């Protein structure tokens, strides 16, 4: 079975061995205040920061999901208002959650076929500005300078759920980065990741919010000691550590992913009768690719894929019947893309 679903997505094949190792090593039955756990958490964060080239002074926290990170931001990091800039369903969902949470919100929607321009988009009153760097629903990405035209009292929060681990990110462009592990990181679902700049931590301290089980200050204070304030996903942390030890550094991965994206985009337009959902080449995502066709063609392809034990990602929302999505995540190997091409060529 091959899967190109953009989340949950293919897990790295080695996960099968790591699962067995986790049992053998007994880490799953260790108390999360034990030295063995604290060591593991420390090594995991170190390896994660090293492989992804995360600045020394940025903090890494593990949560339950990307969705939880959205809530943590509203609860613990927004003073008065968050401003949300988006062109698709995940960015909008984040905005909707934030709006339910007792803080003022505002938004700028932009057309998904157009290149995002920072100019004029920022609300002057917001103290946190939220972007979805890779919009999984419509297969677009923002490559803009996120810090443009903002003052230093504004925090930039960036959802990179479907790009973290696949492409190189310019960490200094953001204060809060969030993701979950079941997409580009090639792991089983059940864990989120949040990466915070010193400014973000200072903001959390300034606000001093401690009302929630997942208040960022609780998370931060515990992670400083390589502990967690509730029993965490120990298996998830273990698997992430093992994967981080296994993968090449992010520059290497990013180069491979970008060239495979170019290659596959080119293949679709030149070797098939299909089209790309995203016409503007500047905004096409490098990690999630959306392919368009007429209803019959898409239906036929999906059936054919099924017969060949290949799972394509369904189109999102209104595009369900006329598109499908392909994850270009690093856990998927080149030979799998070759099989996919054979299927799509027919
Ligand atoms: C999948 C996804 C989410 C939600 O992730 P969960 O782990 O289910 O919370 C959020 N944002 C983007 C861009 C996503 O692709």
Q: DSSP characters for 19-85?
A: HHHHHHHTGGGS-TTSHHHHHHHHHHHHHHHHHHT--TT-EEEEES-HHHHHHHHHHHT-SSEEEEE
Q: In the chain, which stretches have pLDDT less than 50?
A: none
Question: 165: phi > 0 → left, psi -120 to 50 → alpha, else beta; which?
Answer: left
Q: Which domain holds residue 132?
A: 15-246
Contact 7 CB / ligand 1 (< 6 Å): yes
Token pair listed for 207: 């606000």
- Do 94 and 236 lie in one domain? The reply is yes
- Do 240 and 287 lie in one domain? The reply is no
Contact 64 CB / ligand 1 (< 6 Å): no
Query: What pLDDT, on a 0 to 100 scale, did the predictor assign at position 120?
Result: 56
Token pair listed for 290: 């959306």
Q: What is the CATH number of the domain that holds 229?
A: 3.40.640.10
Domain boundary among 219, 246, 273: 246
Contact 233 CB / ligand 1 (< 6 Å): no
- The CB-side HSE value for 66 (13 A sphere, CA atoms) comes to 26
Domain count, the chain: 2
For residue 156, how far is its CA from the centre of ligand 1 (angstroms)? 18
- Do 242 and 254 lie in one domain? The reply is no
Domain boundary among 246, 281, 315: 246
For residue 270, how far is its CA from the centre of ligand 1 (angstroms)? 32
Most informative mutation of 180, 183, 288 for ligand 1 (most atoms within 8 A of CB): 180
From the centroid of its chain, how far is CA 254? 14
- Do 271 and 227 lie in one domain? The reply is no
Q: Which of 112, 130, 113, 95 is nearest to 121 (CA)?
A: 130
Contact 161 CB / ligand 1 (< 6 Å): yes
Token pair listed for 138: 């419509």
- Do 202 and 307 lie in one domain? The reply is no
Token pair listed for 244: 């981080």
- Do 138 and 108 lie in one domain? The reply is yes
- Do 270 and 311 lie in one domain? The reply is yes
Token pair listed for 330: 């690093």
Which residue puts its alpha carbon closest to atom 5 of ligand 1? Answer: 66
Q: What is the CATH number of the domain that holds 259?
A: 3.90.1150.10
- Do 194 and 165 lie in one domain? The reply is yes
- Do 192 and 280 lie in one domain? The reply is no
Most informative mutation of 6, 8, 63, 67 for ligand 1 (most atoms within 8 A of CB): 67
- Do 122 and 231 lie in one domain? The reply is yes
- Do 234 and 314 lie in one domain? The reply is no
Edge-to-edge strand list for the sheet holding 81-86: 59-63, 192-196, 176-180, 155-159, 128-132, 81-86, 104-109
Contact 163 CB / ligand 1 (< 6 Å): no
Contact 141 CB / ligand 1 (< 6 Å): no
- Do 270 and 191 lie in one domain? The reply is no
Domain boundary among 217, 246, 275: 246
Contact 185 CB / ligand 1 (< 6 Å): no
Which atom of ligand 1 sits closest to the CA of residue 189?
7
For residue 137, how far is its CA from the centre of ligand 1 (angstroms)? 10
Provide φ and ψ at 31, rounded to 5°: -60, 140
Query: What pLDDT, on a 0 to 100 scale, did the predictor assign at position 302?
Result: 94
Which atom of ligand 1 sits closest to the CA of residue 67?
9
Most informative mutation of 5, 6, 7, 191 for ligand 1 (most atoms within 8 A of CB): 7
For residue 129, how far is its CA from the centre of ligand 1 (angstroms)? 18
């Amino acid at each position: 079975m091959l899967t190109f679903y953009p989340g949950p997505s293919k897990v790295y094949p080695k996960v099968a061995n790591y699962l067995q190792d986790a049992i053998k090593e007994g880490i799953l039955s260790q108390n999360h205040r034990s030295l063995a756990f604290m060591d593991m958490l420390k090594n995991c964060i170190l390896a994660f920061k090293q492989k992804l080239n995360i600045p020394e002074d940025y903090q890494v926290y593990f949560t339950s999901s990307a969705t939880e990170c959205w809530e943590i931001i509203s609860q613990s990091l927004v003073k008065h208002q968050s401003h949300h800039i988006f062109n698709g369903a995940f960015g909008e969902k984040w905005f909707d959650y934030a709006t339910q949470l007792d803080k003022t919100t505002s938004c700028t929607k932009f057309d998904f076929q157009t290149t995002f321009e920072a100019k004029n988009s920022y609300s002057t009153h917001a103290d946190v500005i939220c972007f979805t760097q890779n919009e999984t629903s419509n297969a677009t990405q923002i490559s803009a300078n996120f810090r443009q035209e903002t003052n230093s009292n504004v925090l930039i929060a960036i959802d990179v759920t479907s790009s973290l681990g696949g492409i190189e990110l310019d960490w200094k462009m953001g204060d809060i980065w969030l993701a979950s592990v079941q997409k580009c990181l090639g792991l089983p679902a059940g864990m989120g990741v949040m990466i915070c700049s010193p400014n973000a931590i200072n903001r959390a301290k300034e606000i001093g919010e401690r009302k929630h089980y997942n208040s960022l200050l609780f998370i931060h204070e515990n992670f400083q000691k390589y502990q967690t304030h509730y029993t965490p996903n120990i298996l998830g942390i273990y698997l992430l550590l093992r994967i981080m030890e296994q993968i090449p550094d992010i520059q290497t991965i990013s180069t491979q992913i970008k060239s495979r994206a170019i290659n596959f985009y080119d293949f679709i337009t030149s070797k098939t009768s299909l089209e790309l959902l995203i016409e503007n080449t500047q905004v096409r995502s490098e990690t999630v690719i959306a392919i368009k066709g007429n209803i019959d063609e898409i239906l036929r392809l999906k059936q054919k894929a099924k017969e060949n034990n290949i799972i394509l990602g369904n189109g999102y929302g209104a595009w369900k019947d006329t598109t499908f999505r392909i994850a270009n995540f690093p856990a998927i190997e080149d030979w799998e893309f070759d099989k996919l091409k054979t299927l799509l060529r027919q």
